Amino acid sequence: MTAPAPPSSVDDDLWSAIGDPTRRRILDLLLAGGGGTATSLSRQLPVTRQAVAKHLDVLDRAGLVRSSAVGREKQCQVDAAQLERAADQLASVGRAWDRRLHRIKAIAEAIETTRRS
């Protein structure tokens, strides 16, 4: 039996982007600081500047951050509209799983009631 596919409105880039704890921390830092560069973010994380730059690229492809050139670096900021879209998508998936779990619970309770009878 195969697992049900997630709703089609949820894109794989988003799941990949937010699935990594370092990228979630980068989003937190960008939100708290109003933006940042790979260099400034790497000072606050236990990873190299190059690793932060790669994480920022993933977040950019998912549409969660946008960047602009500032000298030799890219200044990155969270795209609030995309972050809201991502939150809506995740909430939708959460509701779908809540419905599934509710149905499983009802089935389990019906089986238990039948066993007791």
User: Taking a C-beta distance cutoff of 8 angstroms, is the pair 86, 14 a contact?
Assistant: yes
Q: What is the pLDDT of residue 5?
A: 45
Q: Which domains are assigned to the chain?
A: 12-116 (1.10.10.10)
Q: Is the pLDDT of residue 69 over 50?
A: yes
- 27 vs 7, more confident: 27
Phi, psi of 69, deg, nearest 5: -70, 130
- Given this model, what pLDDT does residue 8 score? 45
pLDDT digits 0-9 by tens, 79-108: 999 999 888 988 998 999 999 999 999 999
Q: What percent of the chain has pLDDT over 70?
A: 91
Who's near 58: CB < 8 A, 6+ residues apart? Answer: 13, 16, 17, 20, 23
